[in-house]
Structure 1
């Protein structure tokens, strides 16, 4: 009996020991699995946070890019080039242009435009260059009794800082059906409306330069660096105009003063230069309150009419490397032959009835 009693005690001790060992092992297994679960969850959370961070960063970068576009690249813009790569001159120049100081003069560019098959194509071409010019304000004036949807939509999507105006040319100053277009000047009303807008909205506190940029010209990005240098009235050569490869000023190599002009048409003009070949400081336009274009001026002499009101030959500032570089061309894109389109229009099957061209 006594031996059975001892065996029973030993069995109970052994049972307690085994049960304790089982519970200890079981709890450790649970603990290990718990730790593994926590690590797994932490990893998933980390990956999720990393993905959210990436999406947030991309969203912020997209917002910043939109803001830069809307502000007309007023923020410094940098084109990254790896240190190991050779920096090309184009990237260096673009960085230099994009990082101008905020106190640089704003270029107020006046562009008259009128409805025609090439209108949107011309505006698109020149706007791509204008996007490279920081501190740029585009004043587009339509020769129309109201703002057209084509130009309105185009400007809204251009990415440029702009003002959209309209001013129809009086019917008496428009060419008749069989009358040559060159007999009646274009852009007089539109340029004057733009000048009146400038005088009504800007004052002596604004730092700017006025430039007249027709929509049928071709512009180099380098031109805008020259325009910013204008103190009162700056002048430079223009390509493919006046029957010459280059028409424009001749400058002294040392003083940069204008000493003469290269010209073949109306050589007795006081300022034998194309509309694209000069710019006027904003303060001069504000000082000369009555300086405008006139319908009484013969076609081809409008540059002389406005320049005679604001400057003299002696005051002209020869730019573009001493008047030796051409940064603007009077290209005048030829009107396309749309005879097939006219036939379709008569049949009511125009190709651009639902597509804006």
Structure 2
């Protein structure tokens, strides 16, 4: 069943003495933030069971912890393609609830239809970034979305399971999910394709985390990537002031500080941080092209192009116009003709 909830949360953040490594910043000191979050739709039904049930399903007597997989996303040409790829991965992961938080003022029906098709239990949230931060030189992308997910977890009193932040363009080894599912407090692991070292990872000695290997330390206490840790919800629930500030580059550090993390609490995963199970892949963003196409081609009910191009337009992949843009042509036997000649 669809649920529409509007939550407005006023939060005052603590004063941070720096924005970048050596620069003092007043921009983030005691700024009132009104977070707007609309839950567009959510489903707790799992229709994927045939994909992963083997020999009658899970025989473990203890309930399997649920992974709350939080994905911040935003409207762009590649959004539906990215979510499709990630969703195909998550379809293979049992006991997972996918929280997709979109940086929009209103609910995206195309995105919601796609999420529903996967059969994964999910919550679709519209959580726009406050306008104040969109004009900053360093825009804190994804923060409003992750904050909305944290608010959803808190408001729904989720106190068991594991929280993980997974971007829509990252690449995940399925082994990662079985590793983080056993997180007791905070687990950490390497993330590939990060910075000048090509990896961000805890440094582990004798099974314990001793430090961090990251090419952008920036005076952070916890110099890790957002995809490089998972948090037990039971552990997080003990910190009532958990938050993530709108401070570009320091989101992970301040979040981990807010849950009271200590070095001895960290559980190294991925074979004592010797394996890369998540990659910080990034898709190149391109401006949606404009295709000049005749009205006849769009309205012809015997041809596919009108329906197809309208769907791509709804996804933000391309735009169609009758007066401007790249002229649409059809090719047959090596010869190209304008659409007008085909549909006239």
Whether these two folds match at TM > 0.5 is: yes
Q: Which 5+ residue runs of structure 1 have no aligned equivalent?
A: 1-68, 80-94
Question: 1:232-277: CA deviations, max 9, x gaps?
Answer: 000000000123221111112x3x2101211111353211110000
CA distance in 2, matches of 1:245, 1:137: 30
| Aligned residue among 254, 273, 281 for 2:224 | 273
Q: 1:73 aligns with which of 49, 54, 58?
A: 49
Alpha-carbon distance in 1 for matches of 2:271, 2:123 = 31
Question: In structure 2, what is the equivalent of residue 250 of structure 1?
Answer: 203
CA–CA distance in 2 between the matches of 1:235 and 1:138? 20
Taking the aligned partners of 1:147 and 1:198, their CA distance within structure 2 comes to 19
Corresponding residue number in structure 1 for 2:141:
186
Determine if contact 1:242/1:265 at 8 Å carries over to the other structure: yes
- Conserved in 1, the CA contact under 8 Å of 2:91 and 2:120? yes
**Map 1:132-143 → 2, pairs under 5 A:** 132-143=92-103
Residue from 294, 304, 313 that aligns with 2:245: 294
1:307 shift after superposition: 0.6
Residue 150 (structure 2) aligns with: 195
Cα distance in 2 between the residues matched to 1:231 and 1:169: 32
Structure 2 distance, partners of 1:354, 1:123, is 16
Task: Decide which of 126, 132, 151 is 1:166's aligned counterpart.
Answer: 126
Q: Matched residue of 2:106: which SS?
A: coil
Distance 2:59 2:118 in 1: 21
* Superposed CA offset, 1:101-121 (max 9, x none): 461110001111110000011
SS of the residue corresponding to residue 325 of structure 1 reads: coil
Listed one character per residue, the Cα deviations across residues 298-351 of structure 1 (whole Å, up to 9, x for unaligned) are x1111001011121223211111001110001101112465xx23639x99897
Does the aligned pair in 1 maintain the 2:52–2:92 contact within 8 Å?
no
1: distance between equivalents of 2:222 and 2:238? 21
Structure 2 equivalent of residue 228 of structure 1: 181
- Give 1:74 deviation, angstroms: 9.0
SS at match of 1:155: helix
Distance 1:344 1:286, change over 3 A: farther
Give the direction of change, closer, same or farther, for the CA distance of 1:77–1:156 in structure 2 (3 Å limit).
same
Q: Assess, with a 3 A threshold, how the Cα gap between structure 1 residues 121 and 324 changes in structure 2: closer, same or farther.
A: same
Gaps of 5+ in 2: 1-44, 299-305, 316-344
Q: Which of 284, 292, 295 is the equivalent residue of 1:344?
A: 292
Q: Deviations along 1:102-144, whole A, 9 cap, x unmatched?
A: 6111000111111000001111111111111110000111111
The secondary structure found in structure 2 opposite 1:268 is: coil
Structure number with greater Rg is 1
State which of 255, 274, 280 in structure 2 corresponds to 1:330.
280
Q: CA deviation at 1:229?
A: 1.7
Q: Distance in 1 between matches of 2:127 and 2:110?
A: 16
Q: How does 1:194-213 map to 2 (within 5 A)?
A: 194-204=149-159, 207-213=160-166
Q: Secondary structure at the match of 1:244?
A: coil
Q: Does the CA-based 8 Å contact 1:143-1:168 persist in structure 2?
A: yes
| Runs of at least 4 residues off by over 4 Å | 347-351
Structure with higher helix content? 1
Please report the TM-score for the alignment, with normalisation by the length of structure 2: 0.69
2-structure distance, mates of 1:174, 1:72:
38
Note if 1:126 corresponds to 2:81. no
